[in-house]
């Protein structure tokens, strides 16, 4: 995506053949941030420390293990349906997890190196996988049989490093299917959250942009970790646009703050993230053709939810943007944050243009970048 700068605007241009075919985001799985609210019953099993091989597998990829009799039955179908659902807010269908289902009796030396492993079994069956899950639970087996909210256990770095192993269980098959219906998004979120450090580490291979990070800290009073290959594009008194340009990919971050007073506090407490991003798009992000500018694609449903970001009330919004009057678009992710201690609102907005590439990883990278948001005392 090419940019032509003016004093207060940057122009976006793209050939007409690079049009993105927008489609409504699937219902998808809700990607939840505040893991502490969801995993009150998490139980960790500590493996014996030893020298371990390096884990294998791609980002957000999981090895799914279950008894071979369940690979083609209802349990297998439900697991694939839930774990391979569409990632929310993308123009094309991409699964939230890359799922590799295997029978448990094939779980040998190579498969044990996977960095994300999910082992699923009802506790009452008499087969190898159920026996091994019961053994892994040990003294917590009785709790697993009697406490419906205790339906998974975590082990880390068991056969490789770094590695996440999730045991998913229930007293019987009916209970297991019900847990998957009610709580599959929590299992998915556990995997995604576990992947975040690796995504951030890879994103920071070029290093950190210390000057931009210092600018954000001094200008806005909070911390964001910014990769070294970002650069400042447009800046005003309360606004900063930074961007990263790579082959066939443009990643953009908008940072905006607005002072609040008693008359605007109630209105600010509502989710105004889309309204403000559209105001910023009309003011700063214009196309080369006259009267073209970035806006949210309101024809496509936007996913919104209330969260906490570094302890502050925030709204997460996911959806698609487009260039009004031209053929250009892609996914966006933004956080509308109510910073009451400092009497202001904060908008963190990330959008991607990558007509030739899949969009999930670039959005995940921006998601992980925003997760580094920390208030500065």
Whether 322 and 240 map to the same domain: the answer is yes
CA–CA separation, 136 and 153 (whole Å): 9
Residue with tokens 């993105």: 20
Whether 125 and 222 map to the same domain: the answer is no
Whether 191 and 243 map to the same domain: the answer is no
Backbone angles phi, psi at 22, to 5 degrees: -75, 140
Domains in the chain, number:
2
Whether 184 and 211 map to the same domain: the answer is no
Final residue of a domain: which of 179, 203, 227?
203
The mean pLDDT value for 254-281 works out to 85
Whether 161 and 104 map to the same domain: the answer is yes
CATH code assigned at 298: 3.40.1000.10
Higher pLDDT, 347 or 290: 347
Whether 337 and 266 map to the same domain: the answer is yes
Joined together, the tokens standing for residue 35 give: 């893991």
- Tally of CA atoms within 13 A in the half-sphere of 201 that contains its CB: 7
Whether 77 and 102 map to the same domain: the answer is yes
pLDDT tens digits, one per residue of 160-202: 999 999 999 999 999 999 999 999 999 999 999 999 999 999 9
Whether 192 and 238 map to the same domain: the answer is no
* Domain span holding position 139: 35-203
Whether 211 and 167 map to the same domain: the answer is no
Final residue of a domain: which of 157, 185, 203?
203
Instruction: Tell me the pLDDT band of 3, cut-offs 50, 70 and 90.
Output: very low
Final residue of a domain: which of 151, 175, 203?
203
CA angle 368-27-317, nearest 5°? 45
Joined together, the tokens standing for residue 302 give: 């936007």
pLDDT at position 137 over 70: yes
The mean pLDDT value for 2-27 works out to 41
pLDDT at position 325 over 90: no
Instruction: Tell me the pLDDT band of 263, cut-offs 50, 70 and 90.
Output: low
Measured in whole angstroms, the distance separating CA 281 from the mean position of its chain's CA atoms is: 23
Whether 84 and 96 map to the same domain: the answer is yes
């Amino acid at each position: 995506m090419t940019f032509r700068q003016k004093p207060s605007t940057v122009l976006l241009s793209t050939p007409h053949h690079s049009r993105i075919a927008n489609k409504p985001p699937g219902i998808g799985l809700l990607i939840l941030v505040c893991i502490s609210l969801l995993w009150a019953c998490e139980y960790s099993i500590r493996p014996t420390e030893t020298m371990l091989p390096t884990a294998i597998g791609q980002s957000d990829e999981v090895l799914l293990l279950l008894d071979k009799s369940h690979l083609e039955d209802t349990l297998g179908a439900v697991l694939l349906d839930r774990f391979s659902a569409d990632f929310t807010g993308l123009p094309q269908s991409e699964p939230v997890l890359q799922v590799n289902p295997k029978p448990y009796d094939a779980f040998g030396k190579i498969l044990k190196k996977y960095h994300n492993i999910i082992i699923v079994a009802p506790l009452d069956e008499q087969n190898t996988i159920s026996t091994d899950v019961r053994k892994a639970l040990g003294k917590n087996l009785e709790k697993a049989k009697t406490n419906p909210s205790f339906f998974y256990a975590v082990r880390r770095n068991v056969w490789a490093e770094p590695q996440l192993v999730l045991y998913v269980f229930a007293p019987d098959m009916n209970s297991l299917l019900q847990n998957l219906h009610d709580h599959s998004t929590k299992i998915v979120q556990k995997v995604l959250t576990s992947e975040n450090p690796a995504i951030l580490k890879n994103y920071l291979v070029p290093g950190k942009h210390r000057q931009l990070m210092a600018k954000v800290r001094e200008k806005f009073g909070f911390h964001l970790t910014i990769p070294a290959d970002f650069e400042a594009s447009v800046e005003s008194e309360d606004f900063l646009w930074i961007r990263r340009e790579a082959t066939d990919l443009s990643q953009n971050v908008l940072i905006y703050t607005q002072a609040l007073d008693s008359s605007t506090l109630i209105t600010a407490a509502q989710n105004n993230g889309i309204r403000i991003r559209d105001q910023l798009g009309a003011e700063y992000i214009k196309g080369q053709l006259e009267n073209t500018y970035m806006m949210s694609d309101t024809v496509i449903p936007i996913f919104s939810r209330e969260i906490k970001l570094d302890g502050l009330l925030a709204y997460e919004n996911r959806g698609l943007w487009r260039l009004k009057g031209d053929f250009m678009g892609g996914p966006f992710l933004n956080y509308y944050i109510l910073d009451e201690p400092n009497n202001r609102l904060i908008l963190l907005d990330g959008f991607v243009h990558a007509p030739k590439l899949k969009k999930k990883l670039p959005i995940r990278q921006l998601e992980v970048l925003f997760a580094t948001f920390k208030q500065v005392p």
